[in-house]
C-alpha cells in the first residue's frame, strides 16, 4: 500500500510539473498575441500565432517577434504597451522561449522599454533602432544573462547609462547612439568582456574616457563622437587587443595622442595634440590595425580643414 501511494504521488507530482511547464511555456504564444493586439495587429490567436506574419516558432512556441514585418508599424503611430498592466503583468516571463523582439526603423512606434523583458531568460536580441522610444534604459535589464545584441540607436531615450549593465557579460553589440542620454561613461562597464561593438555617439555624455575600459578585450569598434566628453585619450586603451575603430570627434578632448598608440618612436609632433594651440582641433577617428610586432600601426585623423586620405603605417600626418 505504501509503495502504491508513493507511486501515485510521484505520478501526480510529475503530471503537475509537466502541466505547469506547458502552461508557462504557452505564455510565449499568449504574450506575442497580446503584444500584437496592443499594437493594433488583430485577428491572431494563440492557436495560429505560429503562422502569423513576423512570428517564428520552435516546437509550437514563439521564439521570435518581428514587429517591423507589419507595414503599419512604419506608417502609423503605435505604442509599446505598459507591461505593468493587465494582461502583461500576469505572464510567466521566466519560462518563455522568446529569443528576439525586433522593430527596426519603426519610425512611428512610441513608448518605453519594458523592464519585464529582463525576465525572459532566452532573449538574445532586442532591436528597436530608429523609433520614437522615450523613457530610460531599464536598470532591471541588468538581469539579462543571454542577451547578445541590443540596438536602441536613434530614439529619444533619456537618463544615464546604468552601472548595473556591467553584469550583462553576454552582450556583443550595444548601440544606443543618437539619443538624449546624459551622465558619464561607467568605468564598471569594463566587465563587458564579450562586447565587440559599443556605440554611444550623439548623446549628451560628459566626463572623461575611463581607462578601466582597457579590459574590454574583445572590443573592435567604439563610437563616442558628438558628446561633451573631456580629458585626454587614455594611454591604457592602446593595449586593447582587438580595437580597430575609434570615433571621438565633436567632443571637448584635449592633450596629445599617447605615444603608446604606436611602437614607432618620434612619430608624434606637437601638432598631433588636441587643443586651442593645435592644428588638430577634432580627433576624428583612430582606425587601429595590428600586427604581432606592432600593436597599433595606423591612425586616421581629421582636422578642421582637411581629411587625411593616405593610409598605411602612422607617419607625419600634416607635413
Q: pLDDT tens across 212-268, in order?
A: 999 999 999 999 999 999 998 899 998 898 988 888 888 988 877 777 765 433 333
| Proportion of the chain above pLDDT 90, given as a percent | 65
| Under 8 Å between Cβ of 98 and 121 | no
Output the nine-digit C-alpha cell for 304. Answer: 578642421
Q: How far apart are CA 194 and CA 167, in angstroms?
A: 11
Output the nine-digit C-alpha cell for 133. Answer: 522610444
pLDDT at position 260 is: 73
Most confident of 1-15, 104-118, 236-250: 104-118
Question: Is the CA virtual torsion 153, 159, 161, 164 positive or negative?
Answer: negative
Q: Is the pTM of this model over 0.75?
A: yes
In 3D space, the residue among 80, 64, 194, 61 whose CA is nearest the CA of residue 128 turns out to be 80
Q: Share the mean pLDDT of the chain.
A: 81
Query: Which carries the bigger pLDDT value, residue 28 or residue 306?
Result: 28
pLDDT at 129 over 70: yes
Least confident range from 15-19, 89-93, 127-131, 243-247: namely 15-19
Amino acid at each position: 500500500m505504501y509503495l502504491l501511494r508513493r507511486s501515485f504521488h510521484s505520478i501526480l507530482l510529475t503530471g503537475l510539473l509537466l502541466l505547469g511547464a506547458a502552461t508557462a511555456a504557452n505564455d510565449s504564444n499568449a504574450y506575442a498575441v497580446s503584444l500584437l493586439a496592443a499594437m493594433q495587429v488583430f485577428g491572431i490567436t494563440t492557436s495560429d500565432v505560429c503562422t502569423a506574419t513576423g512570428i517564428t516558432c520552435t516546437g509550437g512556441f514563439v521564439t521570435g517577434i518581428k514587429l517591423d514585418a507589419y507595414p503599419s508599424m512604419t506608417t502609423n503611430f503605435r505604442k509599446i504597451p505598459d507591461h505593468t498592466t493587465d494582461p502583461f503583468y500576469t505572464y510567466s516571463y521566466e519560462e518563455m522561449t522568446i529569443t528576439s523582439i525586433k522593430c527596426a526603423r519603426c519610425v512611428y512606434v512610441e513608448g518605453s522599454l519594458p523592464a519585464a523583458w529582463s525576465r525572459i531568460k532566452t532573449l538574445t536580441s532586442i532591436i528597436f533602432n530608429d523609433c520614437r522610444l522615450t523613457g530610460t534604459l531599464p536598470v532591471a535589464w541588468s538581469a539579462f544573462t543571454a542577451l547578445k545584441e541590443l540596438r536602441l540607436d536613434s530614439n529619444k531615450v533619456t537618463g544615464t547609462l546604468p552601472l548595473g549593465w556591467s553584469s550583462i557579460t553576454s552582450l556583443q553589440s550595444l548601440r544606443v547612439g543618437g539619443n538624449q542620454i546624459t551622465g558619464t561613461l561607467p568605468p564598471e562597464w569594463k566587465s563587458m568582456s564579450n562586447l565587440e561593438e559599443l556605440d554611444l555617439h550623439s548623446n549628451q555624455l560628459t566626463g572623461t574616457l575611463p581607462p578601466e575600459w582597457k579590459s574590454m578585450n574583445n572590443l573592435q569598434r567604439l563610437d563616442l563622437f558628438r558628446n561633451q566628453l573631456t580629458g585626454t585619450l587614455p594611454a591604457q586603451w592602446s593595449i586593447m587587443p582587438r580595437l580597430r575603430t575609434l570615433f571621438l570627434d565633436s567632443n571637448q578632448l584635449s592633450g596629445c595622442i599617447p605615444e603608446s598608440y604606436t611602437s614607432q618612436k618620434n612619430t608624434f609632433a606637437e601638432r598631433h595634440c588636441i587643443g586651442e594651440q593645435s592644428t588638430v582641433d577634432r580627433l576624428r577617428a583612430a582606425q587601429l590595425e595590428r600586427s604581432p610586432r606592432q600593436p597599433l600601426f595606423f591612425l586616421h585623423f581629421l582636422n578642421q580643414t582637411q581629411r587625411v586620405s593616405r593610409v598605411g603605417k602612422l607617419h607625419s600626418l600634416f607635413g
